Amino acid sequence: MSQLAGKTPKRQRGRPKDEAKAIALLDAARHLLLTKGLDVTLEEISICANVSRATIYSRFESKEDLIEAVIRRESDLTITDEEFQLSENLPVKEALIAFGTRYLNFINGRELHGWDRLISSASAAHPELPRKFFDAGPGRGQQMLVDIISKAASRNELCSLDAVTAADELTGLWMGLSNLEIKLGAREPFTQVEIEQKVARGVTLFLKIYGPDCIAM
């Protein structure tokens, strides 16, 4: 009998090769976009990611598609589609605290300000970029927050409200002026304890305003 007969094939450790390549590609594109700007080429990205250009084109039709995928992944740092679906069934306070904690952790990162600089510097040559960035990134997360609030109101966990306005007010409670200070480098980013405190306080105030017993404004 062959020595190979009956042997179980070894399991490969780590991520599947295709997934690893996709992650390396997005990591490289993100790094080069933030360090070199929109003039970075697909050739430079492929070299940095150690993948072929054919690998890039097998996943993305253009550099613009790749950039949108990078931005979408940034947005997933706030909340993924799967996490959003799960949050819809949570009590509103629990859902808002979970969302707010991830949201502030994302906004709090210094690297996010690199995106601000990139969009500002490129907007003259690419006037469509700010809207694309907003829709794929912050706008997507904000719409999810609107949906969480709207569905909580439909379950009578919140009073009748304008969900768009309420979501805008809640993010203001979470961020306040401190976000601008961090952007300008006038203060250090929040610690994890500060993030948890700001989120909890913001949700508490929000529920005092929009809880089920609130007075319509």
pLDDT in tens, 133-168: 788 778 888 999 999 999 999 999 999 999 999 999
Written as one letter, the residue type at 17 is: K
Query: Which pLDDT band, with edges at 50, 70 and 90, does 1 fall under?
Result: very low
Residue 97 CA to residue 72 CA, distance in Å, equals 22
Greater model confidence, 191 or 80: 191
Sign of the alpha-carbon torsion through 160, 146, 180, 106: positive
Averaged over 173-185, what is the pLDDT?
87
β strands within the chain, DSSP E: none
Per-residue confidence (pLDDT) for residue 11, from 0 to 100: 42
CA end-to-end span of the chain:
83
For the chain, the domains span 17-68, 77-210
Per-residue confidence (pLDDT) for residue 201, from 0 to 100: 98
Report the alpha-carbon angle 64-99-206, nearest 5. 125
Question: DSSP letter at 188?
Answer: P
pLDDT in tens, 33-77: 888 888 899 999 999 999 998 999 999 998 888 988 888 888 777
Report the alpha-carbon angle 24-28-33, nearest 5. 150
Whole-prediction pTM: 0.76
CB atoms within 10 A of CB 31: 16
Per-residue confidence (pLDDT) for residue 174, from 0 to 100: 96
- Topology (CATH level 3) of domain 77-210: Tetracycline Repressor; domain 2 (1.10.357)
Averaged over 164-175, what is the pLDDT?
96
Q: What values do phi and psi take at 13, rounded to 5? A: -85, 160
Per-residue confidence (pLDDT) for residue 110, from 0 to 100: 65
Task: Say if domain 17-68 classifies as CATH 1.10.10.60.
Answer: yes
Contact (CB, 8 A) for 171 and 203: no
